[in-house]
Amino acid sequence: MLRLLLAVVTRELHIAWRRWGDAATPWLFFALVSSLFPLALSPTPETLRLLGPAVLWVAALLSTLLSLNGLYRADVDDGTMEQLLIRAEPLTVVMLAKSIAHWLVACAPIVALAPLVGLAYYLPPGAIVVLCVTLLIGTPTLCLIGAIGAALTAGLRQASGLLALLVLPMMLPVLIFGARATDLAAGGNDPTGIFYLLGALLALSLSLAPVAAAAAIRIALD
């Protein structure tokens, strides 16, 4: 199963490399939205520091949503997903591997860009570190949750709106906890408790989301 997981991740990374324009869309969206907000808001450091955690986390969530619609679409259209369904290996491993590859392509650059964008909001160094840690824990959870919705809508055309309606309610706790932890760090408070909550959400998503996504893709293809 480990060989299958590595093979699927490698395949997805090769496909993303060949389609680098589509792969770059989520983190370019994050960079543009995050950098435009300081221009539209009051330029005072106090205002930007107050709104920065929420703006950055909302931008990260929307960037993740932006890339979900095509997570399984190509495999469904060319018949690859049907071939994976009839293989002896567990489909949950394939779902987990595709979520890992999706995070590496769409969300890992967001985590790397976060320190630079945080400086535009006058976040203190400690808050920038917390922002990066919460994104590092929270964005995999967003990808795993989003994979369930992407699997349910894999057989539909123009399903972006429906996909957002399906997964946004489940993503909101991650958004709230991530923004709150960064806000606490910016105010000089300890966000350790929220780290535990985000870690628990990640562990729950890792254990349940691939199973749910595998069941959903079977339903979508029936």
pLDDT of 81-105, one tens digit each?
Answer: 878 787 777 889 889 999 999 999 9
Amino acid present at 115: P
For 121-145, b/e burial (b = at least 16 CB within 10 A) is bbbeeebbbbbbbbbbbbbbbbbbb
Q: Between 215 and 20, where is the model more confident?
A: 215
With a cut of 90, say whether residue 41 has pLDDT above it: no
Of 10-24, 45-59, 124-138, 206-220, the least confident: 10-24
Tally of CB atoms within 10 A around 31: 18
Q: Check residue 159 and give its pLDDT.
A: 67
With a cut of 80, say whether residue 161 has pLDDT above it: no
Note whether 132 and 191 are within 8 A (CB).
no
Q: Check residue 158 and give its pLDDT.
A: 67
Q: Check residue 58 and give its pLDDT.
A: 94
